[in-house]
Structure 1
Amino acid sequence: MQQQALLPSWTAALWIVPAVVAGLALLPHSRLLAWIMLLAAAFAAGYSYAGWRAALRLADTLPPAWEGRDIQVVGVVAGLPQVSERGLRFAFDVEQVLTPGAQVPHGIQLFWFRRGEEAEEGAHLDPARLRAGERWQFRVRLKRPHGTANPYGFDYEYYLLERGIRATGYVRKDPENFRIDSLVIRPAYLVERARDHIARQMREALAGAPYAGVLIALAIGDQGSIPQDQWRVFTRTGINHLVAISGLHVTLFSGLVFALVQWGWRRSARLTQLWPAKKVALIGGVTAAFAYALLTGFAVPAQRTFYMVVAAALAVWRDRYTSPSRVLAFALAVVVLLDPWAIKAAGFWLSFGAVALIFYVASHRLARPGRLLEAAQVQWAVTVGLIPPLMVLFQQTSLVSPLANAWAIPLVSFLVVPLVLIGAFLGLAAPLHLAHALFALGMLPLAWLAALPAAVWQQHAPPLWTALVASLGAAWLLAPRGFPGRWAGACAFLPLFLLAPPPLPTGVVEATVLDVGQGLAVVLRTREHALLFDAGPRFDSDVDSGSRIVLPYLRAMGVRRLDGLVVSHADNDHAGSAGAVLDGVPVGWFMASLPAEDPLRLRRTDAQPCRAGTQWRWDGVDFRLLHPSAQALATYRKANDRGCVLQVEAAGRRLIIAADIEARAERELVSRLGRTLASDVLVVPHHGSRTSSSVEFIASVAPDWAVFTVGYRNRFGHPKAEVVERYRLFGSRLLRSDESGAVIFRLGPSGIDVAEERKVHPRYWRSGATETELISSSGTGS
């Protein structure tokens, strides 16, 4: 269901009853046909159930007419506020809408700016004021859920849908913004307040400690305070599962409580006569697992572990043996029933996959090795078995993971986590400081491993079938000793690594205008070369489109090295993420139109200035810089008008990336180059601002395709209506990144092929349309 462009109509559910009846009727005659019918009924039931849940969630929506308008609401801070450089982001449950006629979804996400932040005239905040579980009245401005859409990119709209967030926005400046109640007494809010209290206590106790964010994540699952450079070490060494709340942590905590309760209960003869110690301990262990999972945010790994603990406890309670596969299947069923959207989360596949691999190599084996050898076998199995999903999800896997985990798992799980829990839950600073010292000591060898050039294997995104074949090969390779030809399982991994996407033909260029919101980043690829023109915006020290969008796309496309990087000018929406790109991938030459004191220029002493007339040829494709000319550099002072403009030509087909040049620079280009500007594709200058796209410039370029790189409902109002109409009058076909997502142009001898990410991979949560609604609208000619 989560792969569909449309929600199913109710008729899909009509197949369930006939299929069940047919299956039961066929059972005495043909078991095979009976099972086929019953499986068909199960499939229809699951598909319809997921569609029904999605329809209910999508029905709670913000009408387009109320986007961007001030609305007064009353509600409760529903989750732990996430602190950033610019302010706080928090989930908000709307209880009452005070603005007459306004319709607001129950679950929204708000941003409250810090004092001094000027963006969008938001209200200013002292972050210490806001706490989970408080009831507030706010004046807010909202928009419907929207995120960037790029190949192999993070789907923010799906993320919001799964969490029940049906609108996002920010708190407006208003004297009537005030706290109504300091705490709303409801179970979910009490849990969030407890998490908030623990986080604040730990921040105070560990003030200034470099790994304070990690310890908070280990205690309550809040990873928002972990710096990006630390995440890089965790990812490169493959221990990031330990920094999240892993199932091992929940299991250890539950087992510890089980042992303590059983030990204490057995000390009393009267208590053991009232109730068996083992059953009381089971209740204690399950309760501990539930409480810990709740306090850590109830993410998929914690859910999976809790439901497995419940299944195992029920089996022990009834004195029955339950196979590990049934325990895992029970947990899987409960997770997807409660959260049908979990199926697309990376943690879902990695968490359940890791436990399945552990059961596979540790259960039903005749010979039991020693504990140390068994731990090594388990670690080897998890490392090998998770390579296929890691390649599909992230296009990379850590090669030093076995060594790093062999060191980190005992340290974190058996020393750091117990100390963190004691310090966090009892409010003691000493255990927290000891845990921090141990973790900091443990990071020394991990940082060394992460710094190794060969620490991580990265490659192109593999076809799905190669990952399935490799998974079967892993099962074969990890089979018990004596299984014939186990070594042959390794051969099944070869297609995963060796089957690279076909290279572009000579004389063809592929230009991907990435969707980075209000900004610009264009990847240009030929047969053997790759160029990045601008890198998109940087939002704060830990969030930028370079690491979130550009680098994942390059990795998925198999681009291990950029031959060149062009930064058109110093504005954040073009140059903000260039540093992250330079950190994340080797870059050959660097060309920019930047001031001499710009940090990027200082960082790359070999940086070349953009100059009109610079040209080069890659694989039969011509690249020419059209701007800035010597005259522009001598007379123009605005950074926009001194920016780089690139023209690319393949087999007579041309594309221009015009950055942020304005009308003055456009006139200079027209007078100097005239008909040479004529191009089939134009990445519109300055995102469709009124100061750009003059009539003379559009007439000279005469683009068949005009692409506006804009953020959804951006505060500048780009693209301006009169500019859009100007291109339409010249006959250009118009594309907007906020509507199309990433746009991919392929120019070559066969012409121009165009692909829009939102059309290539349509999903129901991006349109909210059901099949019935689509048919109805088609019937009316819409």
Structure 2
Amino acid sequence: MFLPDRIGKILTERLGTLLLAERERWVLWLPVAVGVGISLYFAVSFEPPTWVGGAVLALCLGVAWLGRRVAPVWMMMAVMALVAGGFTVAQWRSAWVAAPVLERPSGKVTLSGLAAEVEPLAGGGQRVTLDHVSMPIDGPVPHRVRLRFKTDQPISVGAKVSVAAILTPPPQPSLPGAFDFARHAWFQGLGAVGTALGPPDIEMVEGGGGLNALRAAIGRRIMAVLPGAIGAVAQALITGEVGAIPRDVLDAYRDSGLAHLLSISGLHMSLLAGLVFFVVRGGLALWPMVALSYPIKKWAAAFAILATFFYMLLAGAPVPAQRSFLMTGIVLLAVLLDRAALSMRLVAWAALVVLVIAPEALIGPSFQMSFAAVAALIAAYEAVNPRVTEWRTQHRGWHHQVGLYLFGVLFSSLVAGLATTVYGGFHFHRLAVWSVLANMVAVPLTGFLVMPFAVLALVLMPLGLEGLALAPMGWGVDAVNRVAVAVAAWPAAGQRLPVLPIEGLAIFTLGGLWLLLWRTRWRLWGLAVMAAGLSTFVLVRPPDIVVDSRGYSFGVRTGDGALLVNRGGRLVRESWDRRAGPLAAERWPKAGRSADGRLGCDALGCLYRAPAGPVALVQDEAGIEAACAAAVTVVAAVPLRQACRGPHTVIDRFDLWRRGAHALWLEPGRARIETVAGWQGDRPWAHRPHRRKKPEPTEPPAEAED
């Protein structure tokens, strides 16, 4: 036998032995395989035919059945079937949510629809989502529209609203790789966004609104007792609405590492379930005849399941709340069935259910960060639990219990923070350096003061007595707000992180799963894979020039590595800062040169002198001739047609209009270009401009980008 064959046989036998030793953990990889299939669906650059996923799934199942007596064949086909199943679920979900999307900016139009969601905004105004929309336009009429109203005129959920507005299609990403709101809107059923031009006409509809109306009513009651930032945060904790939180407070929560408190997730759901369980069980235990004759523990668990289910619906069922409800519900169901819940299996089944119901959640920060935190916490506690149990049995004093609680808060904050740092960095490019210290103070405040009174406020609200509970809840929220603001002001509190490529995140995730899901020592191989994923940071080079889809906003790389931007709305500037920044502090020179001398501008345009050759940035037709003669690359906000033949690379208004925002890397002899259209691919949410009509030259309202 040749040496390579012998080595291969030894490795195969060794791998088989390790896998057999971990057979109780195989089930944990079910959602991973399904997630791989979902990722493949979102990764392809075209929309595959609807039969592809189902056909591959059927083929894999058929081969698995035929090879069921050969273990390796059966196992391989089973894994491939799970991957194909994930692809199929994502494909069918995309087709299921398909809805008409506005083809082009509408101009002023009068529309009407039913108010499905009403969200107050910080600084005044409100954001309203309208369903069953009707309006007189050519082309498809969106069924669902989101409008920003500058007025605070009360709009009840379920009311029929008529208003004059300007609508645009859901905005495309501001750069290749940036947040894709158009894709998010596709899975939300949103066909347009825009701004209301005046006060609406409101007609009440009997019996409309449902839970959304209840959520809005609860929010108004909270804000009536607790105005300002305290009420906005209290509303977020109870109903999940974060739009009213002032921007500076929201930034403080993010930079201090307390943003997870604003997302209804495991902490809130477990606190609610625990409160309801112990209150119901303790109350029933006061009646000896009931306590001795009936299973009050199971009754308490049933009440807790109902309470957490209502809380999830009240919050609008976001992904963290879904995951938390599923996990909490399984634990409580185990109480009802006199069974012990298996923690990591609980996470796996919760993840699988979420992925089947909403496969698009996989690519969002909520799913990634919440499941990463929970899986890391369970794996960490599996490792330290024997020692903690031994310590608890040997030290029963109250001061030991307080120390154990503080250790738990510190340990949990550290593990969860480390587990979510990479995912937070990938999506938000920020690192909360002092998050562990902030959580040591804020989490106990939330657990002992904020959430108990939040539950009490919901109980007292039908009686009109919610103020009795909201007042002490407000004290706790105010204390947490102060902690967030204080910690965010510490040196280096919110550190900027470089861009991590999607391939690096995928490698890091697979390594993390290997580390967390296995039990034996070979799990440590995952650390090397995680390090390899993180090392891809160094492969990313930010673009030298960026331009938005209208040629309105330009950004160029300065000598010190910053991005100098001429103009643009808040969302564009923030997105460019995260993906291609940091933004330069100096102002764009309207006439003259930048501080490093690379950029020179006049009334007709600008010339950027790069080592790879000059680049002309044209925003006026009068500057075309000079730009084409002086530059090797021309980027124009006006149509060039055939007027520019000399430069190697030409991007004009029509290129920007058809392909979206551009990013350019200037290299000797050429410019490497990435566009939003090329990054998105030919997908149903990547709506290209309607070619029968030229785009409007005027800038759409900045509010439409919200």
Give the stretch that moved more between structures: 476-485 or 447-456: 476-485
Aligned-residue RMSD, C-alpha? 3.9
Residue deviations 1:479-498, cap 9 Å, x none? 99997998995996487268
What is the SS of the residue equivalent to 1:76? strand
Residue 623 of structure 1: aligned partner: 598
Question: Cα offset for 1:110?
Answer: 2.7
Residue 33 of structure 1: aligned partner: 73
Aligned residue among 587, 605, 609 for 1:566 = 587
What is the SS of the residue equivalent to 2:587? strand
Residue 38 of structure 2: aligned partner: none
Instruction: Say whether residues 1:204 and 2:253 are aligned partners.
Output: no
Residue 617 of structure 2: aligned partner: 657
Report percent identity of matched pairs. Answer: 21
Residue 452 of structure 1: aligned partner: 490
Residue 136 of structure 1: aligned partner: 161
1:8·1:48 contact (CA, 8 Å) conserved in 2? no
Structure 2: 5+ residue runs without aligned partners? 1-40, 393-403, 689-706
What is the SS of the residue equivalent to 1:78? strand
Residue 124 of structure 1: aligned partner: none
Residue 312 of structure 1: aligned partner: 331
2:160 alignment partner AA: R
Aligned residue among 180, 191, 195 for 2:203 = 180
Residue deviations 1:257-284, cap 9 Å, x none? 1112222333445655775212211210
Residue 735 of structure 1: aligned partner: 655
Residue deviations 1:126-184, cap 9 Å, x none? x233121223355666443333341342211122122221233455669xx64332443
Residue 553 of structure 2: aligned partner: 520
Question: Cα offset for 1:229?
Answer: 1.3
1:678·1:701 contact (CA, 8 Å) conserved in 2? no
Instruction: Say whether residues 1:168 and 2:193 are aligned partners.
Output: yes
Residue 190 of structure 1: aligned partner: 210
Q: Classify 1:66/1:418 alpha carbon distance in 2 versus 1 (closer, same or farther; 3 Å).
A: same
What is the SS of the residue equivalent to 1:566? coil
Q: Classify 1:350/1:183 alpha carbon distance in 2 versus 1 (closer, same or farther; 3 Å).
A: farther
Residue deviations 1:697-741, cap 9 Å, x none? 977998952433xxxxxxxxxxxxxxxxxxxxxxxxx422x5323
Give, in whole Å, the separation in 1 of the partners of 2:646 and 2:419.
Answer: 53
Give the stretch that moved more between structures: 373-382 or 252-261: 373-382
TM-score (norm. length: structure 1): 0.71
Residue 61 of structure 2: aligned partner: 20
What is the SS of the residue equivalent to 2:606? strand
Q: Classify 1:15/1:748 alpha carbon distance in 2 versus 1 (closer, same or farther; 3 Å).
A: closer
Q: Classify 1:315/1:5 alpha carbon distance in 2 versus 1 (closer, same or farther; 3 Å).
A: same
2:211·2:314 contact (CA, 8 Å) conserved in 1? yes
Give the stretch that moved more between structures: 328-337 or 366-375: 366-375
What is the SS of the residue equivalent to 2:544? strand
Question: Cα offset for 1:222?
Answer: 0.7
1:26 alignment partner AA: G
Query: 1:365-764 counterparts in 2 under 5 A?
Result: 365-368=385-388, 369-370=391-392, 371-372=404-405, 373-423=407-457, 426-427=460-461, 428-464=466-502, 466-467=504-505, 489=527, 493=531, 496=534, 499-501=537-539, 510-515=544-549, 519-524=552-557, 529-538=561-570, 544-547=571-574, 549-555=575-581, 559=582, 562=584, 565-567=586-588, 592-593=589-590, 610-611=591-592, 614=593, 623-627=598-602, 641=603, 645-650=605-610, 653-658=613-618, 678-684=630-636, 687-688=637-638, 705-708=650-653, 734-736=654-656, 738-762=657-681, 764=683
Larger RCO, structure (CA 8 Å, separation 6 or more):
2
Q: Classify 1:111/1:470 alpha carbon distance in 2 versus 1 (closer, same or farther; 3 Å).
A: closer
1:49 alignment partner AA: V
Give, in whole Å, the separation in 1 of the partners of 2:263 and 2:614.
Answer: 48
1:81·1:130 contact (CA, 8 Å) conserved in 2? no
Q: Classify 1:6/1:477 alpha carbon distance in 2 versus 1 (closer, same or farther; 3 Å).
A: closer
Residue 398 of structure 2: aligned partner: none
Residue 116 of structure 2: aligned partner: 78
Instruction: Say whether residues 1:342 and 2:369 are aligned partners.
Output: no
What is the SS of the residue equivalent to 1:366? helix
1:306 alignment partner AA: F
Give, in whole Å, the separation in 2 of the partners of 1:416 and 1:472.
Answer: 37
Q: Classify 1:415/1:183 alpha carbon distance in 2 versus 1 (closer, same or farther; 3 Å).
A: farther
Give, in whole Å, the separation in 1 of the partners of 2:369 and 2:418.
Answer: 12
2:175·2:576 contact (CA, 8 Å) conserved in 1? no
Question: Cα offset for 1:512?
Answer: 1.8
Give, in whole Å, the separation in 1 of the partners of 2:386 and 2:484.
Answer: 36
Give, in whole Å, the separation in 2 of the partners of 1:760 and 1:244.
Answer: 30
Residue 779 of structure 1: aligned partner: none
Give, in whole Å, the separation in 2 of the partners of 1:683 and 1:171.
Answer: 34
Residue 44 of structure 2: aligned partner: 4
TM-score (norm. length: structure 2): 0.78
Give, in whole Å, the separation in 2 of the partners of 1:658 and 1:615.
Answer: 17
1:623 alignment partner AA: R
Give, in whole Å, the separation in 2 of the partners of 1:703 and 1:322.
Answer: 65
Q: Classify 1:503/1:264 alpha carbon distance in 2 versus 1 (closer, same or farther; 3 Å).
A: closer
What is the SS of the residue equivalent to 1:649? strand
Residue deviations 1:336-388, cap 9 Å, x none? 22212111110101111111111111236422255333443322221222233
- Whichever structure has more helix as a proportion of its residues is 2
1:157·1:765 contact (CA, 8 Å) conserved in 2? no
Q: Classify 1:379/1:441 alpha carbon distance in 2 versus 1 (closer, same or farther; 3 Å).
A: closer
Q: Classify 1:662/1:464 alpha carbon distance in 2 versus 1 (closer, same or farther; 3 Å).
A: closer
Question: Cα offset for 1:438?
Answer: 3.4
Question: Cα offset for 1:624?
Answer: 4.6
Give, in whole Å, the separation in 2 of the partners of 1:319 and 1:50.
Answer: 36
Give, in whole Å, the separation in 1 of the partners of 2:221 and 2:346.
Answer: 37
Give, in whole Å, the separation in 2 of the partners of 1:484 and 1:141.
Answer: 59
Between the two proteins, the alignment pairs up a number of residues equal to 628
Residue deviations 1:70-115, cap 9 Å, x none? 4654x321112343657432111107x475997534322233443x
2:272·2:451 contact (CA, 8 Å) conserved in 1? no
Give, in whole Å, the separation in 2 of the partners of 1:144 and 1:356.
Answer: 38
Give, in whole Å, the separation in 2 of the partners of 1:212 and 1:435.
Answer: 10
Question: Cα offset for 1:38?
Answer: 2.0
Q: Classify 1:484/1:86 alpha carbon distance in 2 versus 1 (closer, same or farther; 3 Å).
A: closer
2:58 alignment partner AA: V
Give, in whole Å, the separation in 2 of the partners of 1:355 and 1:703.
Answer: 52
Question: Cα offset for 1:239?
Answer: 0.9
Give, in whole Å, the separation in 1 of the partners of 2:162 and 2:293.
Answer: 52
Question: Cα offset for 1:287?
Answer: 0.6
What is the SS of the residue equivalent to 1:367? helix
Give, in whole Å, the separation in 2 of the partners of 1:169 and 1:615.
Answer: 36
Give, in whole Å, the separation in 1 of the partners of 2:459 and 2:665.
Answer: 58
1:141·1:170 contact (CA, 8 Å) conserved in 2? yes
Question: Cα offset for 1:197?
Answer: 1.2
Q: Classify 1:432/1:35 alpha carbon distance in 2 versus 1 (closer, same or farther; 3 Å).
A: same
Q: Classify 1:129/1:388 alpha carbon distance in 2 versus 1 (closer, same or farther; 3 Å).
A: closer
Q: Classify 1:131/1:703 alpha carbon distance in 2 versus 1 (closer, same or farther; 3 Å).
A: farther
Instruction: Say whether residues 1:107 and 2:107 are aligned partners.
Output: no
Q: Classify 1:675/1:129 alpha carbon distance in 2 versus 1 (closer, same or farther; 3 Å).
A: closer
1:626·1:646 contact (CA, 8 Å) conserved in 2? yes
Give, in whole Å, the separation in 2 of the partners of 1:443 and 1:169.
Answer: 32
1:231 alignment partner AA: L
Give, in whole Å, the separation in 1 of the partners of 2:93 and 2:533.
Answer: 38
